[in-house]
Amino acid sequence: MTFIETLKNRRSIYALGKNIDGEKAIAAIKEATRLSPTAFNSQSGRILVVTEDAQDKLWNSIVAGDLEATMKEQGATEEAIANTKEKLAGFGKAYGTVLIYEDQDTIKDLQEKFDFYAENFPVWSEQGTGIVTMNIWGALTEEGIGANLQHYNPVIDADVAKAFDIPANWKLRGQLVFGSIEAPAADKEFISDDVRFKVAK
């Protein structure tokens, strides 16, 4: 698969199952993370991969519980809460989830060391997390594994940290759910090139 072919094949796949080689997936996740560029080579990304019982616990206990509490606070109906739980149970059916973090201590150290760039480091950290997320997504695509990207942070941060012993300096930025592709992605429309690109000579 060429790089562009990988980009074409990478889609948000929501119907995911458990029929994949987990070892291969985890190896791809690690390699994609290691090889991702970061500002000042800070390597500020941190990763928690959950599978098996931990995958079930994440989606059906932690995220479901935290969202139910939040939705109740906001006055959501029982029906809306039940629909949300059903959606979350769908994520639980996937093989695993990559929880993508940024190490805030690394960012603080850089801010102290390179005062001139202090304001840039949090921005570059966000860019870094986007890059690593996309590289993991691409590496999984190359293995024929589907994924979708979720953002239940910060609602779930404290309970996830408690359940999986996550250091206080790790800040959760996204959750990439992955597994076997059980149904293809929906069609996607692209805006016109004229709107997006300028080429100058």
Ligand X SMILES: Cc1cc2nc3c(=O)[nH]c(=O)nc-3n(C[C@H](O)[C@H](O)[C@H](O)COP(=O)(O)O)c2cc1C
Q: Name the maximum alpha-carbon separation found in the chain.
A: 59
Closest approach, Cβ 50 to ligand X, in A, equals: 17
How many other C-beta atoms lie within 10 A of the C-beta of residue 9?
14
Binding status of residue 196 toward ligand X by CB under 6 A: no
Closest approach, Cβ 86 to ligand X, in A, equals: 15
Query: What does the block give as tokens for 8?
Result: 């074409």
Closest approach, Cβ 174 to ligand X, in A, equals: 7
Element (H, E) at 155: none
**Contact set for ligand X, span 92-151 (CB under 6 A):** 148-151
The SS3 call for residue 160 is helix
Binding status of residue 6 toward ligand X by CB under 6 A: no
Distance CA 94, CA 38 (A): 29
Pick 79 or 189: Cβ nearer ligand X: 189
Pick 51 or 175: Cβ nearer ligand X: 175
Distance CA 105, CA 29 (A): 23
Query: What does the block give as tokens for 18?
Result: 């458990």
Burial class for 75, CB neighbours closer than 10 Å (0-12, 13-18, 19+): exposed
| Contact pattern from residue 9 through residue 48 relative to ligand X, giving x for each residue in contact according to CB under 6 A and a dash for the rest | --xx------------------------------------
Assign residue 5 a region (left: φ > 0; alpha: ψ between -120 and 50; beta: otherwise): alpha
Number of residues that bind ligand X (CB under 6 A): 8
Binding status of residue 71 toward ligand X by CB under 6 A: no
Closest approach, Cβ 59 to ligand X, in A, equals: 14
Of the candidates 75, 115, 168, 188, which one interacts with ligand X according to CB under 6 A?
A: 188
The amino acid sitting at 68 is E
Closest approach, Cβ 165 to ligand X, in A, equals: 25
Pick 106 or 129: Cβ nearer ligand X: 129
Residues in the chain: 201
Q: Interface residues with ligand X (CB under 6 A)?
A: 11-12, 148-151, 185, 188
